[in-house]
Amino acid sequence: MQSAIRTVVLSAAAATLCALTATLAVLAVSRPSILIAAPSASSSTSTFDLGVITSGDAIVSRKPDLALISVAVDSKQSTASGAQQDLASKASKLIARAKALGIVDKDINTSGYSVGPSYAPGTGTIDGYRAFEELLLKWHNVDTVGKTLDALVQEGGATQISVGFTLADPKAAQAEARSLAIADARSRAQAMAAAAGVKLGKVLRVSDLSTSGYSSANFDIKGGAAASTQVPVGQLDVQAAVEVDFAIDG
């Protein structure tokens, strides 16, 4: 009887082990395979076991058509409220001059505003309160930006001013630069494939590594300046950079 019981127990254990083995086998079959290809060298253009990965870049030059003018006024008074009131008057004058130049409301934005104590040098004691307001203006006629800066300072009362240039709609230039960068990456990959004696296949992956850029000219102009401000616009370089993975045929 005990022998029969042992036989039953052993049979049940064997059946459980078989079921567990079968379950593990199913899991092993259903788990996806992951293949990692390691580069043969660390460089901008490297060959891989299953393909070629390469980088490409390009620059397209355009004349900017939008000036971004940062302009500010400030005030120092014995009280915080006095500084605020004086600043409000100066800011209203500056905004009115900007509008008179043709800048519409949607192109006038407040980019900074602050009110706080002013400290005497060396003593650290409060000697008044200073208020500051900065505006960001969009100016669409870049060829006349110098005269615009002069008007904002001499007639608008601006105490600080700077200007940068960009494209109002950079998409077309970015698309052209990106296309040239991909062509550059393909040219490099073809050279690598030819040197390795293989044929370049289809594109497997493309990554856009581009960052937008702009040229700028900065000025710290004091009110009352009489000389005409000259601001060469120049050319804006739109850069594109990509990384492309290619398969190898054959």
Give the pLDDT confidence of 197-248 residue by residue, as tens digits: 999 999 999 999 987 655 544 545 555 555 688 888 889 999 999 999 999 9
Q: 23-32, 52-61, 153-162, 165-174: which has the minimum mean pLDDT?
A: 23-32
Q: What is the pLDDT of residue 225?
A: 52
Class of domain 66-166: alpha beta
pTM above 0.75, yes or no: no
Instruction: Provide the edge-to-edge strand list for the sheet that holds 51-62.
Output: 45-48, 51-62, 236-249, 199-208
Alpha helices (H) along the chain: 2-30, 80-100, 145-154, 171-196
Question: Structural domain boundaries of the chain?
Answer: 1-34, 45-62+171-213+239-249, 66-166
Alpha-carbon gap, residue 112 to 130, rounded angstroms = 14
Residue 178 scores a pLDDT above 50: yes
Q: What is the mean pLDDT of the segment spanning 109-137? A: 96
Q: What CATH fold (topology level) applies to the domain 45-62+171-213+239-249?
A: Translation Initiation Factor IF3 (3.30.110)
pLDDT tens digits for range 9-39: 334 444 444 443 443 333 333 333 222 344 4
